[in-house]
């Protein structure tokens, strides 16, 4: 399976908590949300769904969306390595 590109909208936040001895401590938590791959595919769906001739099958549209998302991630990785 191709790389998912990491999180699309990562959020780090801290919260006050208490350890097992009831001493205060700060805990950092992360909510990664959807992957960048999923977000790219969703953006492709917006464009593809607007074209009636492209809606031959739901499965076909999903395959196209993820194929384009995978190519976008590949290009992104190539450009970041230069």
Give the Cα separation of 73 and 79 in Å (integer).
10
- Return the bridge partners of 27, or none: 15
Residue ranges per domain, the chain? 11-81
User: What's the mean pLDDT when you consider all of the chain?
Assistant: 79
Mean pLDDT of 27-35: 72
Taking the model in full, what pTM does it have?
0.63
Q: Are 32 and 25 in contact (CB under 8 A)?
A: no
Selection from 36, 34, 18, 35 nearest residue 26 by Cα? 18
- At 45, is the pLDDT very low, low, confident or very high (cuts 50, 70, 90)? confident
φ, ψ of residue 22 to 5 degrees: the values are 65, 20
Task: With H, G, I as helix, E, B as strand and everything else as coil, classify residue 82.
Answer: coil
């Amino acid at each position: 399976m191709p790389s998912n590109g990491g999180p699309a909208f990562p959020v780090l936040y801290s919260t006050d908590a208490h350890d097992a001895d009831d001493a205060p401590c700060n805990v950092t938590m992360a909510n990664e949300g959807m992957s960048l791959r999923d977000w790219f595919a969703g953006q492709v769906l917006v464009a593809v769904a607007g074209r009636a001739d492209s809606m031959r099958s739901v499965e076909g549209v999903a395959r196209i969306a993820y194929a384009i998302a995978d190519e976008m991630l590949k290009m992104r990785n190539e450009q970041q390595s230069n």
